[in-house]
Amino acid sequence: MKVKGALDYFVIATIFILVVFQECVNGRTFLHSIPRPHPDDAANFARWLVSQSSWGVLNTISSDWGGAPFGNVVSFSDGLPDKGKGIPYFYLTTLDPTARNALKDQRSSLTLSEYSLGTCGKSDPENPTCSKITLIGKLKLVYGNSKEAEFARTALFVKHPEMKGWPKSHNFEVFKLEIENIFMINWFGGPKPLTVDQYLHAKM
Amino acid sequence: MKVKGALDYFVIATIFILVVFQECVNGRTFLHSIPRPHPDDAANFARWLVSQSSWGVLNTISSDWGGAPFGNVVSFSDGLPDKGKGIPYFYLTTLDPTARNALKDQRSSLTLSEYSLGTCGKSDPENPTCSKITLIGKLKLVYGNSKEAEFARTALFVKHPEMKGWPKSHNFEVFKLEIENIFMINWFGGPKPLTVDQYLHAKM
């Protein structure tokens, strides 16, 4: 009886582990190849947060809704896995308001939360120790046959394989955020001072 | 021997389940008490997505950065767990740009992704079947001694227990998003037609 009970548990536990673990991995990036930098190392921390994230909220000025700030959930990539360059690239269609807005007014920002990475432990998403970053700048179309567009498509398709198969008829195009200011909170004491130059030249 | 091996597994499996499961729960809401409505049921689907979410990106017009749309990661609550009323309440301090911006220009939006709930399976966050919602409206201060502020504080503190202990010196205040337009994509075929009235009167 004891053996039978224990073996039943063996089977049930194995199925449960597989289900739960699969769920975790599907739901968000669960394992990180680059360790979390120290919060004081602002440039590397910011680059880590951007390169480890796969999606965020991209903001534009809405022409449809009286100039309201319009946030939209988008996938992005700043390079090949663990080889991010810090500049976020997007794959957008003008069927969506975000791309249409950007073509009229390039002012934009991209916002990411460390909470999505699952590395905030028990901290609330609004707790300053659960880091967040907003890259503020101009959202620009990258012309399709440029070297940069080629780099961006590779960076995007490797991190978001299904993009490659998205309908041709939707005319998806590569956009990039040209960063002008960085707002990052990753500890107590307010936003970390960080210039775009420090961010782009961080040694990951 | 068989019994011992099985019992060892029993202990190891139990610890592993507890660790992995805890990780999942910390990382994001993992168990949902209200089942995901059918995507065609736009009003209930929107209310489900808002009530099940605990954080999002709150967008304002930035007075610091030339009127750029500024997204900020915030926690919110629309009511007690599974008793959400659809109106998102926030706990903000003017030490943070978002509250300062709202007091100068109330135009705002709140953006949420179902990806954070872990119910998008293998879909990419930008795939229309992984739902997303943007509530567009005015971000307004709720006066501290009103009945509404009392309701909001309870709604916030139950879902975000640590808020109650946040520093008094930061003068956190309750804000709410007065919704004027709703942009939701939860399937193919573009945004779902959904009025604010349909959203607010949905029978959850």
Please state the ipTM of this predicted complex: 0.87
Band (pLDDT 50/70/90 cuts) for residue B204 is: confident
Whole-number Å distance between alpha carbons of B90 and B88: 7
Whole-number Å distance between alpha carbons of B125 and B136: 21
Instruction: Tell whether the model's pLDDT for residue B1 goes beyond 80.
Output: no
> B140-192: per-residue pLDDT in tens?
999 989 999 999 999 999 999 999 999 999 999 999 999 999 999 999 999 99
Whole-number Å distance between alpha carbons of A189 and B36: 39
**Residues A159 and A78 placed together within one structural domain of the fold:** yes
Which structural domain range is residue B11 located in? 1-31
Å between B202 CA and nearest CA of chain A: 24
Residue B134: name the closest of B177, B70, B78, B85 by CA. Answer: B177
How much is the pLDDT for B24?
43
Identify the residue with better confidence: A32 or B172: B172
Edge-to-edge order in the sheet of strand A69-75:
A69-75, A55-61, A107-113, A132-141, A173-185, A89-92
Nearest residue in chain A measured CA to CA from B117: A27
How much is the pLDDT for A204?
75
**Residues A63 and A85 placed together within one structural domain of the fold:** yes
Looking at residue A40, its amino acid is D
How much is the pLDDT for A72?
98
**Residues A150 and A165 placed together within one structural domain of the fold:** yes
pTM of the model: 0.87
Whole-number Å distance between alpha carbons of B7 and B19: 19
Domain count within chain A? 2
**Residues B21 and B96 placed together within one structural domain of the fold:** no
DSSP state at residue B54: -
**Residues B77 and B9 placed together within one structural domain of the fold:** no
CATH number at A127 reads 2.30.110.10
Cβ contact A17–B14 (<8 Å): no
Percentage of chain B beyond pLDDT 90 is 80
**Residues A175 and A187 placed together within one structural domain of the fold:** yes
> B84-119: per-residue pLDDT in tens?
999 999 999 999 999 999 999 999 999 999 999 999
Cβ contact B59–A75 (<8 Å): no
**Residues B27 and B116 placed together within one structural domain of the fold:** no
Mean pLDDT, rounded, for B45-74: 97
Mean pLDDT, rounded, for B119-143: 97
DSSP state at residue A114: G
Residue B123: name the closest of B43, B194, B39 by CA. Answer: B39
Map residue A187 onto helix, strand or coil.
Answer: coil
Cα dihedral sign, B149-B194-B184-B106 = negative
- What is the overall mean pLDDT for chain B? 89
How much is the pLDDT for A166?
97
Least CB–CB distance from A69: residue in B69, B113, B180: B69
